[in-house]
Structure 1
């Protein structure tokens, strides 16, 4: 049980680091790969795309959290 929670937190930390690095990359760059100067509006649009891309892993993490909680509560009732 402890391993499941530890791994869940490690994966969450990984997603937070990826999101933070992606956000920093978007907001700190002056020119994108095509050579277009990045305006605040273009940076915001790229940030929204990053958020949309991370919705799927967030959904998986929430399902994993619910599964961990259910398995944890089942073990409490079985041992009592």
Structure 2
């Protein structure tokens, strides 16, 4: 079973995280039993489950980029005023 990144796991809600941990446990058990065809189905469910957290991570990144652009623009405006 493939785990999602720590960043994505950190953005899962409590309910999503509980479901994620349960699915990973079941998937690991199925892999131990060499039931890879069933583990694949569990992995697909995990991939669907983490999509909202991935979107939250993307939104967080976009917000940070926007704030950085605003900061750089304000610094550049301040430099132009100081040069006068």
TM-score by length of 1: 0.59
Q: Quick one: distance in 2 between partners of 1:47 and 1:28?
A: 10
Number of matched pairs? 62
Unaligned 5+ runs, structure 2: 1-5, 13-19, 77-84
Q: Quick one: distance in 2 between partners of 1:60 and 1:30?
A: 30
Larger radius of gyration: 2
Q: Quick one: distance in 1 between partners of 2:52 and 2:24?
A: 21
* Higher relative contact order, chain-length normalized (CA < 8 Å, sep 6+): 1
- 1:63 maps to 2:54: no
Residue 43 to residue 30, structure 1, CA distance change in 2 (3 Å): closer
Runs of 4+ in 1 over 4 A off after TM superposition: 21-24
CA RMSD after TM alignment: 3.3
Could you tell me how far 1:25 is from its partner in structure 2? 3.4
- Aligned counterpart in structure 1 of residue 42 of structure 2, from 41, 46, 50: 46
Q: Is the 8 A contact 2:30 2:36 kept in 1?
A: no
Q: Is the 8 A contact 2:30 2:39 kept in 1?
A: no
Unaligned 5+ runs, structure 1: 1-10, 32-36
